[in-house]
Structures are given as C-alpha cells and as structure tokens.
C-alpha cells in the first residue's frame, strides 16, 4: 500500500442540526465549503498520486476543492458511502428514540449487530467498505492516496488498516473537515495523525 490521507467531508446542514445523514445526498453548507478550502491549502504542497471519494456530493465536492492544486481527477467510490440509515435517515437522535427505541438503544451501545430498518446492517456496511481496501493494493509504498469519506467509513477503514477489532470502532473520532494520516507497510499500518482540525481554527460556523 502507501501513505493515506483520510479526510472527512466538510460540514452540511444535516451535520449542523445533528440529523442522521447517510445516503441522503446533502450538499456542503457555506461553512463546509470553507472547510474544504482550508483542507486544500493544508494539502497544497503535499505530493498526492490519487484521490478517491465517496460518490455522495458532500464528499465529492470536498475532494474536488482539495484536488485543484494537484490537477488530479476525483475517483468516486460507492464503497466509501456512509451507512444507509434507512427509515431513520434525516432524524435526530431524540426523534429516533421516540419512534425507534430499539434502534436508539443499539446506537447508544455502538453495537456491531445494529441494523437500520429499511437500511443497512453494520455487517453489510463493514463488508462494503472493506472492498475499497482492494483498490489500494495497486499502489506502492512510495505513493500517497487521499481518501475523502464520512465518519462511519473512515472509522471502519482505520480499524481494518490497524487490525483493531471493529467493536472498538466507536472510539475513533473524525470531525467534519478533519485530516488524518496512516502510513502503511508490508508488516502493517501506523497511525501518524488523527482528526487534526488545526487548519480550521479561523473558521466560525
């Protein structure tokens, strides 16, 4: 594999209002666009060989802004989509607690046995995201790959890369507009940077 930059997309109105946003194709808010610009400036001098993003607009738009100094096409990947929240899509946790108390309880426990009604189970989600790792096999250790996705897929990818049990996935945080870095080697991966938002300090939402 290679060096991986992991970026969570800029913020959306769904995120600001703390609503579950999975496959709903929300756009970046004005603040989210500014976060993408800050990421572009942060990564402008890095050598990047390829850019992959979830095919949802909030991720593609973030990746497109970051890619501009590098003259690279963004490769959209459905495997990097957030989990499909099904019937609870767009709801707040309080609304889910009222209408789907069993789902709310599983969310509170961060259960890997969770299945969203009308959406994906955690296992289906995990297996989907894992397929993206096959894409990375084509790159050499000298190459750098940028991945723009969502909190859920980034957590799963990080656990898989570091060979950490997925029951610990909830213990990793990826804020909107954050930058993380994983350096991969034949023997395994090293987490070199996690959830860095220092480039966003001048932005007020």
Contact criterion met (CB below 8 Å) for 26 and 12:
yes
122-136 helix and 151-162 helix, angle to the nearest 10 degrees:
60
Q: Is 199 a catalytic residue?
A: no
d(CA 196, CA 35): 12
Instruction: Specify the pairing of strand 179-185 against strand 188-196.
Output: antiparallel
Which residue among 9, 23, 113, 199 is the active-site one?
9
> ∠ CA 19-122-60 to the nearest 5 degrees?
55
Q: What secondary structure letter does DSSP report for 49?
A: S
Given a contact cutoff of 8 angstroms between Cβ atoms, the answer to whether 41 and 62 are in contact is no
Number of neighbours of residue 178 by Cβ within 10 angstroms: 23
Catalytic residue among 47, 70, 113, 150: 150
Under DSSP, is residue 189 helix (H, G, I), strand (E, B) or coil? strand
Strand order in the sheet with 188-196: 74-77, 50-54, 144-149, 3-8, 179-185, 188-196
In the residue annotation, 150 being an active-site residue is answered as yes
* Active-site residue list: 9, 150
């Amino acid at each position: 594999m290679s060096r991986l930059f992991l970026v969570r997309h800029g913020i959306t109105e769904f995120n600001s209002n703390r609503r579950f946003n999975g496959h709903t194709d929300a756009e970046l808010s004005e603040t989210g666009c500014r976060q993408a610009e800050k990421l572009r400036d942060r990564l402008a001098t890095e050598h990047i060989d390829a850019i992959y993003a979830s095919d949802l607009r909030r991720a593609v738009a973030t990746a497109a802004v970051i890619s501009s100094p590098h003259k690279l096409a963004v490769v959209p990947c459905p495997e990097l989509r957030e989990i499909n929240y099904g019937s609870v899509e767009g709801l707040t946790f309080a609304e889910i607690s009222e209408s789907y108390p069993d789902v709310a309880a599983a969310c509170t426990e961060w259960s890997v046995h969770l299945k969203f009604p009308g959406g994906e189970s955690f296992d289906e989600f995990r297996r989907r995201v894992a397929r993206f790792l096959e894409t990375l096999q084509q790159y050499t250790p000298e190459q750098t790959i940028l991945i723009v996705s969502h909190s859920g897929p980034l957590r799963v990818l990080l656990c898989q890369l570091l060979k950490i049990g997925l029951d610990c996935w909830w213990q990793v945080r990826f804020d909107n507009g954050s930058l993380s870095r994983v350096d991969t080697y034949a023997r395994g991966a090293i987490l070199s940077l996690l959830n860095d938002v220092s480039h966003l300090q001048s932005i007020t939402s």
